[in-house]
Structure 1
Amino acid sequence: MTKPINFPAKFIERIEEDLPSDLSLAGFKAVCQQPMRRSIRVNTLKISLEAFLSLAKTNQWQLEPIPWCETGFWITREDESLSLGNTAEHQAGLFYIQEASSMLPVSALFHCFQAEEDCLLLDAASAPGSKTTQMAAMLQGKGAIVANEFSASRVKVLSANLLRCGVTNAAVTHFSAEIFGTWMSEQFDAILLDAPCSGEGTLRKDPQALDNWSEQHVYEISQLQSTLLESALQALKPNGVLIYSTCTLNQQENQQVISRIATQYPDSFSTINLEQLFEHSHKAITKEGYLHVWPQYYDSEGFFVAALRKNAATIDTPAINKRIKPFAYQTATKKQQASIAQHFKSQFGMTLPSDYSIFTKANDYWLLPNSFLRVKDEMRFERVGLKLAEEFKHGFRTSHDAITALGHLVAKNCIELEPEQAHHFYQGKDIVYPNNNKGEVALSYQGYVIGLGKWVRNKIKNSYPRELVKDKGLG
């Protein structure tokens, strides 16, 4: 049973002040007590929308389109004995479980921004990775994304989701987002700042979101948001697009944050009106052209989204003295590049993407997006690109991340698993498979590469990473 929401008196006062005239306080309270509709976003880095719809039909999943995201759907399943997160489709990265409203910021970004082949984007507060993976799916391998997360405990979750979804063009950083304005001034073509907030719009998912709510906390976090927005504008190139979003409802953390920066830096940016983003968006459009989504409007979480374009005038950025360790990856020699390319060609019939470069780190070979290379020495990066393989004395051991991210390029040495075999694979078990073969083999299920094995007499030795193994497999 859902825990009743404790609405603080001051919170209710502020909601009454901010509620649009077409909505009632009673309606707001009522919708906050209702459970969220489950929603997913198809990961088109791994599966086409058409193929996923066919797969969903086979699984008897009922999908209702989310109007602001072409690849987003509310989902209903008659059989929910297996959680969505444990389905084969989710483990293979074919979809991301994501609240419908949280798809709005990235949809707004690409509504206003035309991505070029060499573009560089920043997701300033990216964990757990829902919006970063959505950005990557929109880019389809073009450009590069710096995915930043301040919380150390969430960086690992972010990296895991990027890898599960087959994102190859991301560089992960672990800083407070306020440093980007000085450390990477005017480096980014587009920025998403989904700012930390008081979470007032998440009550349907988290009834305890207001347990620690106070006016003082709202004030303090709005000050942080202003600092982050200022830094993001400094890091943005002139004429670049910045999306400022929160999952909260009060104007102090939304409209007033933008107004404060506009006052501090007159004429530094202009607003891009989002009224044409999707059908019926006019319900949530503010007088400024922002989206202020109340949960009653679309039966969703509450959300705020603003699109800003930086004007040509540069925002003053204080000079700093950087002290950075040398970039941890080294450019591969021509011999090394030829060697790793030959490995993938001979083993799997694959040609590595041409708009990426090969780097090494100790005995590991990595694929780094060319669009990232111009900023590789600007700060410390936790992880960049895609690990391809580890080199040993007598050859290479292909990485799980590479074979799953580039699985669509596999042209040979791949076998399709039966349901029971896939179940054992996800349990980390070897697969009985009489053979006299040698070397590595790509493993697919339902037509999509899910990992690697190694031919051993009468079986396939499982190469699924231990940290991903699930005792229940597909159960």
Structure 2
Amino acid sequence: MGYALPQDFVAKMERLLGEEYERFMQSYDAARFYGIRVNTLKIAVESFEHISPFSLRKIPWAQEGFYVHEEARPGKHPYYHAGLYYIQEPSAMAPVELLDIQQDDRVLDLCAAPGGKSTQIAAKLAGTGLLVTNDNHPDRTKALAKNIELYGVRNAVVLNAVPEEIARTFANYFDKILIDAPCSGEGMFRKDEDMAKQWAKHSVEKCVLMQRDILRTAARLLAPGGRIVYSTCTFSPEENEAMIAEFLEQDSRFHIVPIGEDHGFAKGQGEWIRTLTDEAGKSFEETTIQAVNGTGRLWPHRLEGEGHFLAVLQHDGTLASRDESLEDTSGRKKKEVRGSKASAQDQKTKLTSDEQELVQQFMQDHLITALSGEAVRYGQHVYMSPVERERLDGLKVVRPGFFIGTLKKNRFEPAHPLATALRPEEVTRWIHLSSSDDEIIRYLRGETLTLPEDRVQRGNESVPAKGYALICVDGYSVGWGKWLDGMLKNEYPAGWRWT
């Protein structure tokens, strides 16, 4: 380890871990573990194993996760640009696995940027249900939106809001909620030495205040019988077992679903909070202390991954129907709320009949699949929204749905996210490039390609070669190109290009 750990942190861990302390400290001198998670929205796990350009070793707690060597540099392969996998720290794959996502679930990722767990949720939904993914930091939502788009997610809404704002129109709405809570980050010191250097600034006390508010609001957002998974990447008992204990004692509708000790996971440490108190200064009940032993800890000296804490909170189902979430107690719809964070995406409107015709004509000429959702226009951008429009009123919306294109004067231009979400069998015209050929690198760099007409594949002889074509690498979409007279105009966005 080429840097010094904060001495207060070292002293705390020695006190907490006792005889395990030496093994824990030795983990900081061990090699880190690197992982990728296969994006099953675009490719099956077995298919990726067959074509993988680097060696893979299964991550035991993640169905689609694999260890890879650092030297493999998976971010420097065309498959990364095709969204076939997400580069993700192995332990970070565990929280979504515990959500137990089922098809057609409504899922909220409350603290989502940069979006790794959101793309994992989307893959498990397999195009069904709804994903609302949110982060309250405006700059971080840029990476969040890009990852949603790169990985071909069609059923997501991206928000930039605080939880209380979301609760105004989404109360009692979500079947599953993930809280990857902001924390002091102690479990990431080995991965990111800057986190160790900044540890004193990200005080446990400040983090506890944020976590408390987030948990309480999440309880209001959850549908009857729903599930919350709370996770942190810190070792601090105040942010972990004590936070969950306090929540359980304040809301008796929830209980812990024990995580178990498979795959090297460890139990939560109820004993560590015996001398701590809740917000009101009251000590925790013995039953609560025992209950939090059902939470889980991922220790870097016990498994091949970084430090994490996990808690699965199950609701007992005693709330009113989630369909009443837009009504007050008198049965009337709540008044529209527009605060200082109303949508930054220009005014939201329905498409005019002429605009609808432009979009429909493009779809008819280029797609052989139907897109689900309601077409809405934000400024000149057109989205297929998977959620009722009134739910988004008063919220700062980064993406109201699946971004399919932009309305220009008398024409419709397809968006890059439309391409990344499509498969060759869903379009009328496509071009295959090989991952082993320089052509794909040139395309990803934004260059114009010279291609003969017979490279433009069509499912029907009546389709002309001229026009937009879906560009694919080894059969998996990466973007648009526009073919005309032997030249492929490159439509790959400048901000996405290979560098």
The two structures have a TM-score, normalised by structure 1, of 0.87
The 2-side partners of 1:182 and 1:391 are apart by: 32
1:88 aligns with 2:87: no
Pick the aligned partner of 1:55 from 35, 51, 54.
Answer: 51
Distance 1:396 1:321, change over 3 A: closer
Pick the aligned partner of 2:184 from 195, 198, 209.
Answer: 198
Which amino acid is the alignment partner of residue 461 of structure 1? K
1:63-142 matched pairs, under 5 angstroms: 63-76=56-69, 80=72, 83-110=73-100, 113-115=101-103, 117=104, 119-142=105-128
Structure 2 match to 1:6: 5
Q: Is the 8 A contact 2:186 2:195 kept in 1?
A: yes
Q: Which runs of 5+ in 2 are unaligned?
A: 270-289, 321-327, 454-463
SS at match of 1:251: coil
User: By how many angstroms is 1:376 displaced?
Assistant: 3.0
The 2-side partners of 1:87 and 1:426 are apart by: 11
Pick the aligned partner of 1:403 from 419, 427, 431.
Answer: 419
Q: Is the 8 A contact 2:114 2:143 kept in 1?
A: yes
Which amino acid is the alignment partner of residue 209 of structure 2? Q
Which amino acid is the alignment partner of residue 50 of structure 1? E
1:246-257 matched pairs, under 5 angstroms: 246-257=232-243
Q: Is the 8 A contact 2:355 2:407 kept in 1?
A: no
Distance 1:175 1:361, change over 3 A: closer
The 1-side partners of 2:265 and 2:43 are apart by: 32
Which amino acid is the alignment partner of residue 337 of structure 2? K
SS at match of 1:62: coil
The 1-side partners of 2:243 and 2:166 are apart by: 18
User: By how many angstroms is 1:342 displaced?
Assistant: 4.3
Distance 1:386 1:182, change over 3 A: closer
SS at match of 2:302: helix
Pick the aligned partner of 2:338 from 291, 316, 323.
Answer: 323
Structure 2 match to 1:361: 378
SS at match of 2:376: strand
1:258-407 matched pairs, under 5 angstroms: 258-265=244-251, 267-275=252-260, 279-280=262-263, 283-284=266-267, 288=292, 289-314=294-319, 322-323=337-338, 328-332=347-351, 337=356, 340-348=359-367, 350-353=368-371, 355-369=372-386, 371=387, 373=389, 375-377=391-393, 379-407=395-423
Distance 1:18 1:65, change over 3 A: same
The 1-side partners of 2:408 and 2:186 are apart by: 53
User: By how many angstroms is 1:329 displaced?
Assistant: 3.4
Q: Is the 8 A contact 1:432 1:459 kept in 2?
A: yes
Residue range with higher mean Cα deviation, 339-348 or 99-108: 339-348
Which amino acid is the alignment partner of residue 14 of structure 1? K
SS at match of 2:196: coil
SS at match of 2:203: helix
Q: Is the 8 A contact 2:381 2:407 kept in 1?
A: yes
Distance 1:281 1:182, change over 3 A: farther
Q: Is the 8 A contact 1:109 1:192 kept in 2?
A: yes
User: By how many angstroms is 1:312 displaced?
Assistant: 3.6
Q: Alpha-carbon deviations, 1:255-293, whole Å to 9, x = none? A: 10111222333x1311111228xx445644555311111
Q: Alpha-carbon deviations, 1:310-349, whole Å to 9, x = none? A: 234459x99998225589433446775565344223224x
Distance 1:120 1:375, change over 3 A: farther
The 2-side partners of 1:47 and 1:86 are apart by: 19
Distance 1:341 1:68, change over 3 A: farther
Structure 1 match to 2:323: none
The 1-side partners of 2:206 and 2:430 are apart by: 55
1:459 aligns with 2:487: yes
**Aligned Cα root-mean-square deviation (Å):** 2.8
Which amino acid is the alignment partner of residue 97 of structure 1? I
Distance 1:221 1:282, change over 3 A: closer
Structure 1 match to 2:35: 39
Q: Is the 8 A contact 1:201 1:249 kept in 2?
A: yes
SS at match of 2:197: coil
Structure 2 match to 1:438: 466
The 2-side partners of 1:46 and 1:216 are apart by: 38
The 1-side partners of 2:199 and 2:335 are apart by: 37
Which amino acid is the alignment partner of residue 421 of structure 2? A
Pick the aligned partner of 2:171 from 185, 189, 198.
Answer: 185
The percent of aligned pairs where both chains have the same amino acid is 29
Q: Is the 8 A contact 1:40 1:75 kept in 2?
A: yes
Structure 2 match to 1:422: 440
Structure 1 match to 2:477: 449
Which amino acid is the alignment partner of residue 363 of structure 2? F
SS at match of 1:137: helix
Which amino acid is the alignment partner of residue 171 of structure 2? S
The 1-side partners of 2:168 and 2:427 are apart by: 46
The 1-side partners of 2:162 and 2:132 are apart by: 13
The 2-side partners of 1:183 and 1:18 are apart by: 43
Which amino acid is the alignment partner of residue 299 of structure 1? E
Aligned length: 450
Structure 1 match to 2:13: 15
SS at match of 1:296: coil
The two structures have a TM-score, normalised by structure 2, of 0.83
Residue range with higher mean Cα deviation, 391-400 or 287-296: 391-400
The 2-side partners of 1:424 and 1:312 are apart by: 55
The 1-side partners of 2:390 and 2:60 are apart by: 37
Q: Is the 8 A contact 1:284 1:294 kept in 2?
A: no
Structure 2 match to 1:176: 162
The 2-side partners of 1:284 and 1:258 are apart by: 14
